[in-house]
Amino acid sequence: MGKIKAAIFDMDGVLTDTVKLHFKAWKKMFESHGYKFEYEDYKWKVDGKPRLDGIRSIAYDVPEDELIEMAEEKQRYFLEFVEQENLEAFEDSIWLLNHLKQNNIRLAVASSSKNTTKILTKIGIYNMFDTIVTGYDFKKGKPDPEIFLTAAQRLNVNPKECAVFEDAIDGVKAGIRAGMLTIGVCRDGQFDRLKEAHYVVDKLTNVNLELLENLHEKLFKMV
């Protein structure tokens, strides 16, 4: 026991229900430019990626200056929705954060979102984390592992001592490539979407430190 020293959480869809706001903002932006955009497009092509990469996955041959304008437009819509709607942290996320904190596990957020600090502050959990990595803090977006390796470095822990919690396909791939135990958080119950994760749950009350330690032991015995 005692192999897990840190837990790293994606934000959107894991800690709070910003997914619906992101989807609405993406949809409004894409459709204003003539692109059809549905929820499946969001989950499979855009979710978890830096903004420009998300746009490129739908708008394949748009010039760079137009891409940037589209990204700024999406950001404006998203911030409008954040102001209009009541955002809260998921209760199961609060439970797990408290459980891990009580067991002296270091906590980090690693999100591609450049709105991370604003959102965490709004939902009242900013101060629960030992470090926060945002879209401003890395160069290569998920599925590249840089974002999670940056979090581990800031926490001063070995990547193998970290558990990652992700709800996006590219985020799961990034966690695995970082050499970390990777837990898929699939709140819609469509577990197949995150089948590459080492373990998948539909809510975080299905996770505790004992489970993470057991999964870690099995994972690194196999490596």
- Tens digit of each residue's pLDDT (9 = 90 or more) over 88-128: 999 999 999 999 999 999 999 999 888 899 999 999 999 99
Taking only the tens place, the pLDDT of each residue in 164-204 is 999 999 999 999 999 999 999 999 888 999 999 999 999 99
Q: Is 203 part of any known ligand binding site?
A: no
Which of these, 14, 44, 11, 38, lies nearest to 26 by C-alpha position? 38
SS3 content of the chain, % helix, strand, coil (to 5): 50, 15, 35
| Pair (121, 198) in one structural domain | yes
| Pair (131, 181) in one structural domain | yes
Q: What is the DSSP string of 166-214?
A: E-SHHHHHHHHHTT-EEEEE-TTS-GGGGTTSSEEESSGGG--HHHHHH
Q: Is 68 helix (H, G, I), strand (E, B) or coil?
A: helix
Of the pLDDT bands very low, low, confident and very high (cuts 50, 70, 90), residue 2 is low
Q: Is 74 part of any known ligand binding site?
A: yes
| Pair (23, 13) in one structural domain | no
Q: Is 132 helix (H, G, I), strand (E, B) or coil?
A: strand
Query: Rounded CA gap, 26 and 24, in Å?
Result: 6
Q: Is 115 part of any known ligand binding site?
A: yes
Query: Rounded CA gap, 129 and 107, in Å?
Result: 5
Q: Is 44 part of any known ligand binding site?
A: no
Which among 57, 84, 111 is the end of a domain? 84
Predicted confidence (pLDDT) at residue 1 exceeds the cutoff of 60: no
Taking only the tens place, the pLDDT of each residue in 57-70 is 999 889 999 999 99
Which among 34, 68, 84 is the end of a domain? 84
Q: Is 144 part of any known ligand binding site?
A: no
**Catalytic residue set:** 10, 12
Instruction: Examine residue 1 and state whether it is found in any structural domain, yes or no.
Output: no
The residue that leads in pLDDT, 52 or 211, is 211
Q: What is the CATH number of the domain that holds 79?
A: 1.10.150
The total domain count for the chain is: 2
Q: Give pLDDT, residue 85.
A: 87
| Pair (11, 35) in one structural domain | no
| Pair (104, 115) in one structural domain | yes
